[in-house]
Chain A
Amino acid sequence: MDHREIEDRNIPDLYLMNKLSNEARLQFEEHFISCPECLSRLEMTEGLRTALKNELMARPLTTIHSTGRSPFRTYGFALAAAAILISLGLLAALAFRTWSEEQRESAELRNRLGVATASLEQERNKSAQLNAQLAALAQQQGTVPVFPLVITRGGSDTPGSTLNSIVLPQAGWMIFLLELPDVPRIESYKAVVRDSKGILVSDISGLKSTSRDTLAISVLSSLFVPGDFVISLEGLTSGRYTLLGKYSFHVLR
């Protein structure tokens, strides 16, 4: 293995992405273990890739701070939304129980229910705006828009309840950066994208992640129309796929 071949075939990049065959990987390791030139190349590539990923993950915060909004993040919004939903449920139950006995109190509760609903709607709008800004920022900094998606928790992957909203780019590729759950020893991943009617949009298997916490998948934007979608992420372990998480998102034009 000589340096010309190593550079021409991008072997250090493929090594870091776990894309070399087993034989090529062993051969390259035996070369670079005592080769300062290749080690520097590997370390620099590793640094650049990590920095690119960190930069992408840092974008939502930058967007929020630059617009002077209160610093709530996606998780913060998820908690707030969950709290509001629970409040709504409690208020509704209470209102039903006291309906016949305390009309005045019931009216007040209905009023509070309305306020809470409006608040939830407001939070949703804020989230959509933030994601729109994020998408706009992504488009400014690179031709390929990158959308970080968080796992939809609490079984709220029904259409309309999504926390992830994305603005569809006009054409070309876009990248979804999926938050990975902490499940060790996944050999490869499979991502299945379906629309709100359950119709298959895309099915990508054999995905490998070189990061512990994110998995990037690239898809053609032309596959999507405005509406709700869900990505089901499955992990391959011991020859079997198991569901790792669902990522629901709303596509805006």
Chain B
Amino acid sequence: MSQEAELIAEIQGGNVQAEEEFVNRYRRGILMILRRSYEAVGAAEDLCQDTLRIALDSIRRGEIIDPDRLSGFVCGIARNLALNYARRAARRETSTDDSELYSLSPVSPPAQLDELLRAEQIRAVRRVLEELPGDRDRELLYRFYIAEEDKESICRDLDLTSLHFNRVLFRARERYRQLYEKYLRRK
């Protein structure tokens, strides 16, 4: 029996811990998918809760026929909710109802904590850039992550192998993670 099949059986048997495990396993991934949707990004937390609720209800009712497709099933719910949210938002944007228009305006100023985190991100990334061994690695980061150029053309221009390219990205990510997590622990 696969892990998914076991989890489904436990949830159908009324095991609350299994439901918690399901939520812990899928929550981060659902949020990642929802945050990629331009229109739904502001409602990602709410849509994530809805996705989990709908998925759990379906499991309890025994609607999952193939347990190996559980991840695909959860993804599908998240995508559909994001799509429906976007359609509703588009309809509201063309509406003349003032109350609906006001409900769409996300104009709250950035919170102080967000500003502090942003400042720390900038400090951390400056340190990462300073610590890179050469200009070529910095150029690689800018061209790949900011200008979003293709890996092949960057490798060709900078005379790099695919392995070296991946190594630079890996080191930069890891160093950034260390610095940023260190800051969060201090706080």
Chain A residues within 8 Å of B, Cβ to Cβ: 7-8, 10, 13, 15-19, 26, 29-36, 39, 41-45, 47-56, 58, 141-144, 146, 173, 175, 177, 184-185, 208, 210, 212, 216-218
- Cβ of B85 within 8 Å of any chain A Cβ, yes or no, is no
Q: Which residues of B from 96 to 128 have beta carbons under 8 Å from A?
A: 118, 121-122, 124-126, 128
Q: With contacts A51-B121, A55-B126, A144-B143 known, is A33 near B26, CB below 8 A? A: yes
Flag if A29 contacts B124 (CB, 8 Å): no
Size of the B side of the interface (Cβ < 8 Å), in residues, is: 48
Contact check: which of A30, A36, A217 meets B71 at CB < 8 Å? Answer: A30
Q: Which residues of B from 1 to 49 have beta carbons under 8 Å from A?
A: 25-26, 28-30, 32-33, 36, 38-39
Flag if B176 contacts A44 (CB, 8 Å): yes
Q: With contacts A51-B176, A141-B129, A216-B147 known, is A33 near B142, CB below 8 A? A: no
Q: Residue of B at shortest CB range from A58?
A: B122
Given contacts A13-B169, A39-B28, A50-B121, 11 further A-B contacts (CB under 8 A): A10-B151, A16-B36, A33-B26, A33-B75, A48-B173, A52-B125, A55-B121, A142-B139, A173-B157, A184-B38, A184-B93
A212 neighbours in B (Cβ, 8 Å): 38
Q: With contacts A33-B74, A34-B29, A44-B173 known, is A218 near B149, CB below 8 A? A: yes
B148 neighbours in A (Cβ, 8 Å): 17, 19, 208, 210, 216
Q: With contacts A7-B166, A30-B72, A56-B146 known, is A44 near B30, CB below 8 A? A: no
Q: Residue of A at shortest CB range from B38?
A: A184
Q: Residue of B at shortest CB range from A217?
A: B147
Interface centre among B122, B126, B144, B174, by most A CB within 10 Å?
B122
Flag if B71 contacts A48 (CB, 8 Å): no
Contact check: which of B93, B139, B172, B176 meets A143 at CB < 8 Å? Answer: B139
Instruction: Report the bound CA distance from A97 to B124 in whole Å.
Output: 60
B28 neighbours in A (Cβ, 8 Å): 36, 39, 43
A50 neighbours in B (Cβ, 8 Å): 121
In angstroms, how far is the closest chain A Cβ from the Cβ of B76? 9
Instruction: Report the bound CA distance from A66 to B165 in whole Å.
Output: 34
A42 neighbours in B (Cβ, 8 Å): 32
Flag if B176 contacts A144 (CB, 8 Å): no
In angstroms, how far is the closest chain B Cβ from the Cβ of A75? 16
Majority SS at the chain B contact face = helix
| Count of chain A to chain B residue pairs whose CB atoms are closer than 8 Å in the complex | 132
Flag if A29 contacts B75 (CB, 8 Å): yes
Instruction: Report the bound CA distance from A218 to B75 in whole Å.
Output: 34
A47 neighbours in B (Cβ, 8 Å): 121, 176-177, 180
Flag if A141 contacts B71 (CB, 8 Å): no
Q: With contacts A30-B71, A48-B172 known, is A173 near B143, CB below 8 A? A: yes
7 contacts between A and B (CB under 8 A): A32-B29, A33-B26, A39-B32, A47-B121, A142-B142, A143-B138, A184-B93
Instruction: Report the bound CA distance from A101 to B53 in whole Å.
Output: 81
Instruction: Report the bound CA distance from A196 to B122 in whole Å.
Output: 36
In angstroms, how far is the closest chain B Cβ from the Cβ of A183? 11
Flag if B166 contacts A10 (CB, 8 Å): yes
Contact check: which of B29, B128, B138 meets A39 at CB < 8 Å? Answer: B29
Contact check: which of A32, A56, A58 meets B32 at CB < 8 Å? Answer: A32
Q: Which 5 pairs of residues, A with B, have the shortest CB-CB distance?
A: A33-B29, A218-B147, A51-B125, A51-B121, A143-B139
Instruction: Report the bound CA distance from A54 to B176 in whole Å.
Output: 14
Instruction: Report the bound CA distance from A146 to B139 in whole Å.
Output: 11
A45 neighbours in B (Cβ, 8 Å): 173
Flag if B118 contacts A10 (CB, 8 Å): no
Flag if B122 contacts A146 (CB, 8 Å): no
Flag if A175 contacts B38 (CB, 8 Å): no
In angstroms, how far is the closest chain B Cβ from the Cβ of A49? 5
Instruction: Report the bound CA distance from A36 to B122 in whole Å.
Output: 26
- Cβ of B162 within 8 Å of any chain A Cβ, yes or no, is yes
In angstroms, how far is the closest chain B Cβ from the Cβ of A151? 19
In angstroms, how far is the closest chain A Cβ from the Cβ of B162? 7
Instruction: Report the bound CA distance from A56 to B146 in whole Å.
Output: 10
